[in-house]
Structure 1
Amino acid sequence: MPDIRAAATASAVSAASAASTASAAAAASEEAEARPLLEVSDVTKSFGSGRRRLTALDGVDIRLGRGETLGLVGESGCGKSTLARVLLGLERPDAGTVRFDGTDPFALRGKELLAWRRRVQMVFQDPFASLNARMSAAELISEPWRTHRDVVPTPKAREKRVRELLALVGLRDSDAHRYPGEFSGGQRQRIGIARALALDPDLIVCDEPVSALDLSVQAQVLNVLSELRERLGVAYVFISHDLSVVRYIADRVTVMYLGKVIEHGDTEEVFDRPQHPYTSALMSAAPVLDASRTTADREIQLQGEIPSPFDIPSGCRFRTRCRHAEDRCTTEPPPLVTRGTRGAAGSHTALCHFPLGAAGESAGV
């Protein structure tokens, strides 16, 4: 006769092992959900050599959660586009670390790297230049599948998926066979967004995606991006010079100046209570719909010219244009000052010796 006790023991061990495996899988899943989608720590990137060495990024830190939108703002030449290229894996940082879902993309090779590239996509600034005029909308949207063949493997499935993506961005089935020259600027950008979504990414880097569009069309495209985030859970890094656009779409804002992050925090907190004098000046220069207030009443005029990125000022790099600057700003790099109590990811930080008061100097946008 079979040993009943042995069989029962084996069954119990098997059940315990299955429970342990399930528990470990659940714990791993919870850990993955709690982990930021994107972590950039102390990243530096320079170009050139010797006296002609340009430091485009200098100790940059950013974090982005799943399904979040991070607005990236600053004047031209502050390093926004270089940071975007690092996030896309197109530029390797000189120092620091980049973690995407816990993985260093710069350590990946072959099939692993190809699989990672599916998870990070791009929407370009100019919808007129970023689409091949000789390709139909269907060909443009399905182009990523030429490289990532396993995503949508058959022609019939691709045709169906193109129609679904067109519908997602508010275009019709009949638009699939039209060419870029037959679309308006806003419709072209919708095609660019559909192409970015073709590989089901976790993150889309948007580099000034509405700056080339009319105001009414900008609103339409921004609404499309917002709706897609709600439906698909995709995260955005949204680069823009237009502060009103950033305020509308972003959960958090990172302000850059000469390759450095100088302020970061929740969008409403940064816009309503800027702590860095540079951020305050940016906010004050943005237009407001209030006829009772003139530009002279609210705009903070910055002194001097933007320093050359080849010759960054000592101490605080903003000191040459800051009306609050004192002697210590010339020699001492400013400390990172934290306001708020919500922890590292949600706290309001500014890189300044003399952060502004609770109300800042700006009336917001």
Structure 2
Amino acid sequence: MPETPLTDTTAAGPRADGSATPPPLLEVRGVTKSFGHGRRRLTALDGVDVRVERGETLGLVGESGCGKSTLARVVLGLERPDSGTVRFNGTDPFTLKGKELLAWRRRVQMVFQDPFASLNARMSAADLIGEPWRTHRDVVPTAQARERRVRELLSLVGLRESDAHRYPNEFSGGQRQRIGIARALALDPDLIVCDEPVSALDLSVQAQVLNVLSELRERLGVSYVFISHDLSVVRHVSDRVTVMYLGKVIEHGPTEDVFDRPLHPYTAALMSAAPTLDVSGQAQDDDEIQLRGEIPSPFDIPSGCRFRTRCWKSEARCAELAPPVVTRDATADPGREPHEGLCHFPLGTGPTEA
């Protein structure tokens, strides 16, 4: 029996004044993606649904190999899904060609994990920031305008105008990442995919970069898909969180709900493993949930619930039946964002009937 999809979408409908609700900035529905040939195929994405509204940050979490980076590549148009749909402001980018495709690529940009590896060491900060304009010539058409725009972008990310002529090796890690952010902003995008953007930085520098991203969102209205293993970072920056396991979304909802009252045992295990500090400054890990076994191979995903081989709540039905969609507090506030998970025995709700 195929697994039930966990739908992270909202149907566009009429507003109170009768006008149509605009579509989400990004809507991914039922996307699958696999790699390989014949019977030996790796399932990277399996019926994934996510959405991003205008001006919000979606946190994307899960262990290595869960499909986060593959989903990012699909969102960026670098990987075509095997099935399912991707809509950006209501338009399928995979149907675009020529000038229309080029214009769309301006609207989705990327901030990479390693701020040094993502920058050409032989190019100055000004050249790095202005590199996208070589392809999108109409954005900033003249040399004088480009020089002025580089200075504006440097200032926007907290660097000095005089930094324009310096090279990557002359900057700290945090400063390099600011250059990467400025380059992503050069084309005035609507959405920026941030793939572990602070994992290579010291803690104090992480805070500075995160503050820059938050300020830019408030000032420019840009949206983010924020991929990170650091749950404290995800909690700090995200409006909603999507949790993935072996290529599937297993929980999503408002950040405070997912973190404070997780539905899925896997989410609870992730949260318990995240280090916390008490008032004495000592890390607390006494309540950490110890998962059994290793992550199954994506070439051979377990039947029923794919998390069952590591779950302390697993029973026979978990191997036989696909887990149902469980919604917490579905009727408490009809206007509230739903908090949903895929589980036979969701936490805090009692067992689900088969």
TM-score, normalised to structure 1's length? 0.88
Deviation at 1:52, TM superposition (A): 1.8
| Cα pair distance change 1:345/1:314, threshold 3 Å | farther
Of 295, 298, 322, 1:306 maps to 295
- Supply the distance in 1 between the matched residues of 2:285 and 2:51 (Cα, whole angstroms): 36
- Supply the distance in 1 between the matched residues of 2:174 and 2:283 (Cα, whole angstroms): 32
1:156 aligns with 2:144: yes
3-state SS, counterpart of residue 48 of structure 1: strand
| Pairs within 5 Å for 1:1-365 | 34-290=22-278, 295=284, 297-341=286-330, 346-357=337-348
| Cα pair distance change 1:114/1:330, threshold 3 Å | same
Deviation at 1:294, TM superposition (A): 7.0
The unaligned stretches of length 5 or more in structure 1 are 1-26, 360-365
Indicate conservation of the 8 Å contact 2:278/2:284, yes or no. Answer: no
Deviation at 1:295, TM superposition (A): 4.6
The unaligned stretches of length 5 or more in structure 2 are 1-14
3-state SS, counterpart of residue 187 of structure 1: helix
3-state SS, counterpart of residue 61 of structure 1: strand
Q: Identity rate of aligned residues, in percent?
A: 81
- Supply the distance in 1 between the matched residues of 2:205 and 2:21 (Cα, whole angstroms): 35
Deviations 1:145-176 (A, max 9, x none): 00000000000000000000000000001000
- Supply the distance in 2 between the matched residues of 1:296 and 1:188 (Cα, whole angstroms): 34
Indicate conservation of the 8 Å contact 2:253/2:337, yes or no. Answer: yes
Deviations 1:302-336 (A, max 9, x none): 01111011110000000000010110000111011
- Supply the distance in 2 between the matched residues of 1:264 and 1:174 (Cα, whole angstroms): 44
3-state SS, counterpart of residue 53 of structure 1: strand
| Cα pair distance change 1:57/1:317, threshold 3 Å | same
Larger-gyration structure (1/2): 1
Which amino acid in 1 is paired with 2:74? V
**Residue of structure 2 in register with 1:21 after alignment:** none
Deviations 1:60-109 (A, max 9, x none): 00011000000000000000000000000000000000000000000000
**Residue of structure 1 in register with 2:11 after alignment:** none
- Count of paired positions: 331
Which amino acid in 2 is paired with 1:350? G
